[in-house]
Structure formats: structure tokens, C-alpha cells
């Protein structure tokens, strides 16, 4: 029953996390603090058929589709990691692992584990367990298959070469590879591929294959690349390409056929879709609205939402947000989530590292852009889940206090403006040296300043506030399970808050007094 090519991923990528918004980040939590049985309950597996995944990460589905251009269907299987032994034998030539954060170096994991100083993230633990299992299978049985790791986290092996060797990961493939997957895997079989490969040429639209199996969360790609030139960002290094409406609809139909009726429209910035104004970055309203109309026109689709977007476009064209909201039927019973990068409240750092992020506004206007962008989204029943970056090179405490003051302003003034529609979250992430800033140092979470601590404390306090005030429709579960999980979440976040407060005092910072003093200034 062995397959020539077996594709898999670590256990954290085989769940839809009960469809709770942002709950996928549980995979970045410390493994030492989340018992395995609790993780299994909170993150149940998607359905399997004899170990074959009914749904898989979207990027893995793209590789599968690319491989089928050079391999037969019978030669390739997408398998749950716990069932690999049923599909690997002496005839297996390549085992491909799709990895989001194999070595725990991604910003969320680094933040949640203190830069791996104190803890090991769950995703790292499961990936290493998987790699060691494959290593043991080869050593014990004499199997000759090669292990290749790709996906968003493959870059981490450029920073941890010794771990790649220790885990017997033969190849780490970095970059878009769906268009060359079949040729690449054939070359791997022949032994003509280097340990670390950066795929140079990005695919043209017509070279990007359609998925042939359902994706986790119903994810479908609308575009690749960005163009805002943020120096800390890897997607910025990719040319922006927009998927035609028909291509998007074909992939949605694959998911609908599997029983998925919600679409997560993947992009690095959905409001750049169809962008024509590459100088001023005014959004192409017609292209964006028509894209969502195409999505909602697919028979069987009930709900849709984007993954990422920049709020400067929201402020530049509020009517665009209103039009999209009408198409996807945003309402109190259908709250739309989106993940924008707030990054920092410091106009100085925006100007230095990401001046185009504020376009068509100036970096100096960034705090107002965030405030009014949040207001406009909230008025249309959207909730932004912002991410922040701690430790950008040259960041000062005053830059951090700018961030704290911005969050405080939003927390106080938005409810005054729009009442109980006002909602947002803000999650601080540690700086990771990728993109143009590759070569700089990782943020040292073990040597945290007063300003950095204030950002962490303030954002976590706000997270607790939001958890207690979120609209009921945000979490769609049966009433009993929802009650149990909400009680658990509230207990958990309050426990973490106490840990953060104790940690601050050990560092010599009084959480409440520090923030109160700074607001007074």
C-alpha cells in the first residue's frame, strides 16, 4: 500500500480548531503548559479516510496539484502524520512535509514562549516528533525515501542548519514551488538537489495549479505577493499576482463539494486586489467588490471573509468596505474578521521601515489611519485582529509608548463614537529577521524593556476585555460546548494575565503604575 510520494504535515495543521476565530494560534502556545489531551480536545482532527486527510493546508494542496502534473494519482497521497506507517514502505521515494513553524521561530511562537528561552511551542514539538519518527523509520527499516520540508516555515532551516542535519531533513525548499513541484520531486528522487533550495522564478498565473482536494478552513487564494515594500515582510519580496475570478470559483467549488460552505479568501493584502494605482495605492473598488461577488455566486457558499488586509485602504475608500459588506452580508449575526498589521504606533518606525503601508496617507498619519480604519470596519460589522511587532531594529521605549497610547485611545474613544460595535484585538509578535531585514538579530525576549513590557501588558488586558464583550455570533458552537469553552478561555486568559503581572514585577516594572504614569505624561 506504500506510495511513491507521501505528503503530510505536523499534527497542529490537521485541525480547524472548532472554527473559533484566531484559535489556530493555540499551536504556538507552550507545550509544557498545554497537556496533550487538552490540545486534542480543543483541536480535533479533520475527518480521515484510511488515514488520508479529507482536508489539508491550502499550500499542501497546491503542491499535491503540482505533483499530479508529473505523477499519477495512485503515486501520491496526503496522509495524517499518525498514519504514515500505512503508506510508507521500501517503494516510497519522497516524503514531503508542509510546515508553518517547524522550529518555533515564527513571531507568534517566539512571543508566546519567550523566544524559546522558557518554553517549547506546540507546533515545534509536533514537527520534531514527526521528523524523528521518519528518521527512525529510515534507520530501523532501511527505507531510502528522502524527506523534504516546504511551506511558509521552511526558511527556518537557513537559521538552524544543524537541526536540519540532526533531524535528517534532506531538503528544505523555500519559496513558491507548486509550478515546479513535479520536476523538483523527480530531481530529489535522482539525488540532484541541494539541502536548501530557494526557488528562484515565481510562477505566472497560468502555471499555478488548481487544488484538487479540499483545504482546511475552506481557504482559497485570491492573490500572491503584495507591493507595499515593508522591509520586515517576506511576502513583499514576491511580485503581486491576482487570481482570475474563474480560477477562484473553481477552487471554491472543490471545497463546497467536500461540505465546506464558508470561504476564507487568502491574500497578503486583499485591498490590493486588482491594484492599478501603484503610486498612490488607492484601492480598485470595482475589482475588489466584483471578486467578492464572484465568491458569493458559487452555489453552496454561505459565508465568506478575507484573511489579511491593510486598513489604510479602508480609510481611503470607506464605500469600498460598505460595498463588500453588502455582498458578503455582514451583520450582527455575521461578523467579518480580518487580520491587518498595525505593527507599531510609532510614526517614526513606520516611516523608516514601511512608509508605503500608510499609503495613500503619510507615515505621520498612521495612528489616525489605524483609529479611523478600525472605526470604519466596526461600523460595517468587521473586527480587525491586529498584529504588532516588538523589537524592530532601532526601536526605543518611546516608540513602544506610542503604541500603548494608540491602543488606549482606541479602547477609550471608539466606544464613545460607535457604541458596542467597537471591537478589535492586538497581538504583539517578536521581530524575526526576514525580508529585507534578514541578517538583523532576533528580538531578545529575555532582555525586555519597560516599553516592550507595557505593550505586552496593555494588549493582553485588552484581549481579556474583548473576550468578555465579543458579540455572541463570533463563536458558532452548540450552546453547551460554547459555555464550557468560554469558561475555559476566561480562566486561561486571566491566569496568563497574572503570569504577565508577576513577570513584570520580577523585571522591576509595576504594571498598573507604569501604564498610569505614562498616560499622565
Q: What domains can be seen in the chain, in order of their start residue? A: 5-198 (no CATH), 213-520 (3.80.30.20)
Give me the sign of the Cα torsion angle 221, 226, 232, 238. positive
Does residue 514 surpass a pLDDT of 70? no
pLDDT category of residue 239 using cuts at 50, 70 and 90: confident
Position with higher pLDDT, 299 vs 230: 299
Mean residue pLDDT of the chain comes to 93
What's the residue count for the chain? 521
User: Given this model, what pLDDT does residue 122 score?
Assistant: 96
CA dist., res. 501 & res. 122, Å (int) = 24
Contact 131, 8 (CB under 8 A): no
Distance, CA of 324 to CA of 293 (rounded, Å): 8
**Cβ atoms of residues 317 and 281 within 8 Å:** no
Q: Which residues contact 216 (CB under 8 A, 6 or more apart)?
A: 13, 15, 16, 46, 55, 56, 57, 58
**Per-residue pLDDT averaged across 468-490, rounded?**
88
The grid cell for 179 is 509550478
Q: What is the pLDDT of residue 520?
A: 47
Residue 497 clears pLDDT 60, i.e. is over it: yes
pLDDT of 88 higher than 90: yes
Q: Tell me, what's the pLDDT at 399?
A: 97
Buried b (16+ CB within 10 A) or exposed e, 10-24: bbbbbbbbbebbebb
229: its cell numbers: 515594500
Q: Name the β-bridge partners of 30.
A: 121
Which pLDDT value is given to residue 492?
A: 86
Per residue in 14-45, pLDDT (tens digit) is: 999 999 888 999 999 999 989 999 999 999 99
Contact call for residues 146 and 55 (beta carbons, < 8 A): no
- CA–CA gap between residue 92 and residue 102 (Å, rounded): 23
Q: Does pLDDT of 98 surpass 80? A: yes
444-473 pLDDT, tens per residue? 766 789 999 999 999 999 999 999 998 988
**What pLDDT was estimated at residue 521?**
45
Report d(CA 285, CA 277) in Å as an integer: 11
Local confidence band at 515 (pLDDT 50, 70, 90 cut-offs):
low
pLDDT at 209 (0 to 100): 98
| DSSP letter, residue 47 | P
Instruction: Write the pLDDT tens digit of every residue in 181-205.
Output: 999 999 999 999 999 999 988 999 9
Mean pLDDT of the 405-416 span: 96
* Dihedral sign for Cα atoms in the order 475, 478, 481, 482: positive
d(CA 260, CA 346): 41
User: What is the pairing mode between strands 52-53 and 48-49?
Assistant: antiparallel
Omega before 90 within 30 of 0, i.e. cis? no
* Torsional sign, CA 474, 480, 483, 487: negative
How many Cα atoms are found within 13 Å in the side-chain-facing hemisphere of 411?
18
Compute the distance between CA of residue 512 and CA of residue 327 in angstroms, rounded to an integer.
44
Extended beta strands in 28-124, E state: 48-49, 52-53, 55-56, 76-78, 94-98
pLDDT higher than 70, residue 371: yes
Name the band, by pLDDT with cuts 50, 70 and 90, for residue 236.
low
Mean pLDDT of 288-297: 98
Rounded to 5 degrees, what angle do the CA atoms 472, 429, 234 make? Answer: 110
Task: Give the per-residue pLDDT at 446.
Answer: 67
Backbone angles phi, psi at 427, to 5 degrees: -115, 120
Q: What is the mean pLDDT of residues 217-222?
A: 98
| pTM, rounded to two decimals | 0.94
- Helix, strand, coil shares of the chain as percentages rounded to 5? 50, 15, 35
Rounded CA-CA distance 167/155 in Å is 16
| Strand 146-150 relative to strand 171-174, pairing | parallel
**Sole residue written with cell 472554527:** 19
Q: Are strands 76-78 and 5-9 parallel, antiparallel or unpaired?
A: parallel
pLDDT, mean of residues 222-236: 84
Instruction: Decide: helix, strand or coil at residue 334.
Output: strand
pLDDT digits (tens, 9 = 90+) for 316-337: 999 999 999 999 999 999 999 9
| Residue 337 phi, psi dihedral angles, 5° rounding | -100, 150
> Is the per-residue pLDDT at 415 higher than 50?
yes
At residue 344, the pLDDT reads 98
- Measured in degrees and rounded to the nearest 5, phi and psi for residue 7 equal -110, 140
Q: Are 313 and 283 in contact (CB under 8 A)?
A: yes
CB 391 within 8 A of CB 430: yes
**238: which 3 cell numbers?**
514576491
Amino acid at each position: 500500500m506504500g506510495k511513491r510520494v507521501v505528503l503530510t504535515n505536523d499534527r497542529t495543521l490537521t485541525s480547524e480548531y472548532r472554527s473559533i476565530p484566531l484559535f489556530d494560534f493555540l499551536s504556538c502556545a507552550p507545550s509544557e503548559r498545554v497537556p496533550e489531551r487538552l490540545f486534542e480536545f480543543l483541536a480535533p482532527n479533520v475527518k480521515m479516510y484510511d488515514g488520508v486527510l479529507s482536508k489539508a493546508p491550502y499550500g499542501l494542496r497546491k503542491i499535491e496539484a503540482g505533483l499530479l502534473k508529473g505523477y499519477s494519482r495512485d503515486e501520491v497521497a496526503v496522509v495524517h502524520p499518525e498514519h504514515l506507517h500505512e503508506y510508507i514502505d521500501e517503494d516510497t521515494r519522497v516524503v514531503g512535509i508542509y510546515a508553518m513553524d517547524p522550529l518555533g521561530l515564527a513571531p507568534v511562537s517566539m512571543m508566546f514562549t519567550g523566544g524559546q528561552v522558557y518554553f517549547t511551542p506546540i507546533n515545534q514539538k509536533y514537527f520534531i516528533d514527526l521528523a524523528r519518527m521518519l528518521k527512525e523509520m529510515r534507520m530501523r527499516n532501511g527505507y531510502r525515501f528522502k524527506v523534504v520540508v516546504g511551506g511558509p516555515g521552511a526558511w527556518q532551516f537557513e537559521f538552524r542548519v544543524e537541526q536540519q542535519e540532526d533531524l535528517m531533513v534532506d531538503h528544505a525548499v523555500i519559496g513558491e514551488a507548486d509550478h515546479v513541484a513535479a520536476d523538483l520531486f523527480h530531481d530529489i528522487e535522482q539525488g540532484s538537489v541541494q539541502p536548501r533550495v530557494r526557488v528562484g522564478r515565481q510562477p505566472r498565473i497560468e502555471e499555478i495549479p488548481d487544488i484538487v482536494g479540499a483545504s482546511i478552513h475552506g481557504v482559497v487564494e485570491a492573490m500572491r505577493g503584495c507591493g507595499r515594500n515593508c522591509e520586515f515582510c517576506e511576502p513583499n519580496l514576491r511580485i503581486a499576482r491576482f487570481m482570475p475570478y474563474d480560477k477562484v470559483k473553481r477552487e471554491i467549488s472543490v471545497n463546497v463539494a467536500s461540505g465546506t460552505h464558508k470561504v476564507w479568501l487568502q491574500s497578503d493584502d486583499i485591498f490590493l486586489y486588482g491594484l492599478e494605482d501603484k503610486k498612490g495605492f488607492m484601492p480598485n473598488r470595482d475589482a475588489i467588490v466584483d471578486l467578492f461577488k464572484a465568491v458569493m455566486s458559487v452555489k453552496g457558499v454561505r459565508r465568506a471573509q478575507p484573511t489579511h488586509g491593510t486598513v489604510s485602504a479602508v480609510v481611503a475608500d470607506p464605500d469600498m468596505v460598505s460595498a463588500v459588506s453588502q455582498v458578503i452580508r455582514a451583520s450582527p449575526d455575521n461578523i467579518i474578521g480580518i487580520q491587518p498589521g498595525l505593527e507599531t504606533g510609532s510614526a517614526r518606525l513606520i516611516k523608516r521601515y514601511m512608509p508605503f503601508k500608510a499609503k495613500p496617507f503619510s507615515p505621520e498619519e498612521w495612528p489616525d489611519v489605524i483609529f479611523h480604519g478600525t472605526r470604519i470596519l466596526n461600523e460595517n460589522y468587521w473586527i480587525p485582529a491586529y498584529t504588532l511587532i516588538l523589537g524592530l531594529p532601532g526601536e526605543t521605549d518611546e516608540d513602544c509608548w506610542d503604541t500603548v497610547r494608540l491602543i488606549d485611545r482606541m479602547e477609550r474613544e471608539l466606544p464613545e463614537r460607535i457604541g458596542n460595535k467597537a471591537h478589535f484585538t492586538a497581538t504583539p509578535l517578536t521581530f524575526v529577521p526576514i525580508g529585507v531585514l534578514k541578517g538583523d538579530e532576533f528580538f531578545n525576549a529575555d532582555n525586555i524593556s519597560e516599553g516592550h513590557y507595557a505593550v505586552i501588558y496593555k494588549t493582553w488586558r485588552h484581549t481579556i476585555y474583548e473576550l468578555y464583550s465579543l458579540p455572541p455570533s463570533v463563536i458558532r458552537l452548540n450552546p453547551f460546548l460554547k459555555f464550557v469553552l468560554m469558561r475555559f478561555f476566561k480562566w486561561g486568559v486571566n491566569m496568563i494575565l497574572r503570569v504577565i503581572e508577576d513577570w513584570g514585577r520580577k523585571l522591576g516594572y509595576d504594571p498598573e503604575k507604569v501604564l498610569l504614569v505614562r498616560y499622565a505624561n
